[in-house]
Amino acid sequence: MTATTFRIGGDLSVRRLGFGAMGLPTEPGPARALSLGVARRAVELGVTLIDTAHLYGGGANEELLAEALYPYPDGLLVTTKVGVARSAETGEWRLDGRPDVLRDQVENALRRLRVERLELLQLHRLDPEVPLADQLGALRELQTAGKVGRLGLSEISVAELEQAREIIDVVSVQNRYNVLDREHESVLVACEAAGIAFLPWRPVAWGKSGAHAEIAAVAAELDATPTQVALAWLLDRSPVVLPIPGTARIGHLEENVAAADLRLTPAHRDRLAALAPLDRPADQS
């Protein structure tokens, strides 16, 4: 039986199938009202892990979730990410891991989410122009100060994960990964060995799953949708995998959440596993 929950950092229990809030419109009007409804419906359906980031609208996504869900129900984890900032000169988004920027983004996230502590904070990307020790050291200081509970990383290699674990306790990794794209397979394997939560972004290949004949065939045999098959495969792939599919439509949300109850047979598992190569050198991620 596939486990339905996972303890991030060994103590923070969440249901494994979460929700990615990135695609929720935040501008005033009917679209925002729908976004509020989707976020609330996710919690009604039992989702306990919701992913956002400073990058998503410069904090507007965080504010949306707070408007929809605050005061947060017991057991709900809203995790956010920092480390990408908008240039004051060009207006373009860029990596920015300078300690003062990270600290400022954390303070703003606390304010926008209306909390005193971020139970899980992830570094959106490593900034190659800032020493790793400076980036992670700033986050560790925020953790020591009680403003952050646990720390994670995103879009990293196995080597970077090893380096980071010498500085902080890494409890989660968020890399691109799905049934058709397993470039970061070695990172998932490393996370599984260490008991680190692996949050795959783009978990259903942006709809490409439905166009793949083998996935469509498995879906038909299981009386499910290709999206549900792709999510069920992720949940079946490893107990540390916590998919965070996103949508701005309640119907799609309900379809996604229902994937947690879909069970693949060994034959289905083998057919899906054969769709993309698994063997990758440890440094290719």
**pLDDT at residue 276, rounded to an integer:** 85
Domain contains 44: yes
| Alpha helices, H only, the chain | 30-44, 60-69, 99-113, 132-144, 158-165, 185-194, 213-222, 226-237, 250-258, 266-273
Report how far residue 193's alpha carbon sits from residue 196's, in angstroms, rounded to the nearest whole number.
8
Domain contains 209: no
DSSP string, 65-77: HHHHHPSPPTT-E
Question: Active-site residues: which are they?
Answer: 56
For residue 190, give its domain range. 5-204+239-247
Domain contains 105: yes
Q: What region does 57 belong to: left with phi over 0, alpha with psi -120 to 50, or beta?
A: left
Which residues make beta-bridge pairs with 170?
151
CATH of the domain at 67: 3.20.20.100
How many domains are there within the chain? 1
Report how far residue 16's alpha carbon sits from residue 14's, in angstroms, rounded to the nearest whole number.
6
Q: Which has the closest alpha carbon to 174: 151, 156, 147?
A: 156
Domain contains 285: no
Q: Helix, strand, or coil here: 92?
A: coil
| Residue type at position 255 | E
Q: Which residues are CB-neighbours of 49 under 8 A, at least 6 positions away? A: 14, 15, 16, 18, 19, 77, 79, 242, 244
Domain contains 225: no
**pLDDT at residue 207, rounded to an integer:** 61
Domain contains 211: no
Domain contains 133: yes
Domain contains 96: yes
Q: Which residues of 99-119 are buried (b: 16+ CB within 10 A; e: fewer)?
A: bebbbebbebbbebbebeebb
pLDDT by residue for the chain (285 residues), tens only, comes to 678 999 999 999 999 999 999 999 999 999 999 999 999 999 999 999 999 999 999 999 999 999 999 999 999 999 999 999 988 788 899 999 999 999 999 999 999 999 999 999 999 999 999 999 999 999 999 999 999 999 999 999 999 999 999 999 999 999 999 999 999 999 999 999 999 999 999 998 756 666 788 999 999 999 999 999 999 999 999 999 999 999 999 999 999 999 999 999 999 999 999 998 654 443 332
